[in-house]
Amino acid sequence: MVASLKDLIRGDVPLARAIFNDERKRRLIPQLQRDGWPIFDLAGKRCGFPADLAAAAARARKAAQRRLKQRVRSRGKPAAETETSI
């Protein structure tokens, strides 16, 4: 448990700025909270700790990379085009 709330990020705009580096994505914060990200409500605002958010973002990036690699592997290599002689 964190002993201090000093570095707490409060509000959707600061959370979006911390997670996405883009405050325009503030509308995604409630969905992230529902998906289990370390975002909680405190005094009527959504809040999170920077270290917890960074760890969750790193896990999400790794999961996305695994999904991408899996999708590339499942496609396989394209069939070699063969020329036919007439």
Q: Does the global pTM surpass 0.85?
A: no
Give the pLDDT score at 75: 74
What is the CB neighbour count within 10 angstroms for residue 35?
Answer: 11
Give the residue extent of every domain in the chain: 9-64
Largest CA distance in the chain: 80
Give the pLDDT score at 82: 55
> Average pLDDT per run of 10 along the chain, which is 86 residues long?
78 95 95 96 95 94 91 70 58
Give the pLDDT score at 31: 96
**Residue pLDDT, tens place only, 51-70:** 999 999 999 999 999 999 88
What is the CB neighbour count within 10 angstroms for residue 29?
Answer: 21
